[in-house]
Amino acid sequence: MPIEEAMESEQGLVALSNQRRNVEIPNAAPVRLHTDDLARHVATAPNGKRYVVASYIDAVMGSPCRTTVFPQQGGYLTLVRLPICSFSSQTLDAAILQHQKVIQAIQNGRLEELAQSKKTI
């Protein structure tokens, strides 16, 4: 079912949210998924700071899928009201690929560069 069709009905959104993926990324711990999540992981930057990267179905903002980076405080508290950067994707597969690339950028110390560019990587 195309994302555009699914987003037009509540039943379609439930079907999309059931398409979660088992995404395994080296050195990134998985986090419990929320309702519309495709993937959610904790990535640690070289400076020791931790960030939660969430890829989810975004029916509200007008793009089918979104990948967002949130800071994590104290090793457990995700600051969802303070997103660092966010990227939109048109397909579920593109969102998962974006998710993996964002985590790799964080692990390589390129988060600041990524947040300033605000482009799909």
Say how far apart CA 64 and CA 72 lie, in whole Å: 25
pLDDT, one tens digit per residue, over 15-55 is: 444 555 678 888 888 888 888 899 999 999 999 999 999 99
Question: What is the tally of helices (H) and strands (E) in the chain?
Answer: 4, 6
**Partners of 78 in beta bridges:** 72
Which stretches within 1-121 are classed as H helix?
A: 3-7, 10-17, 92-107, 111-117
How high is the pLDDT of residue 1?
A: 45
Among 25, 59, 60, smallest CA distance to 39 is for 25
Residue 74, number of CB atoms within 10 A of its CB = 6
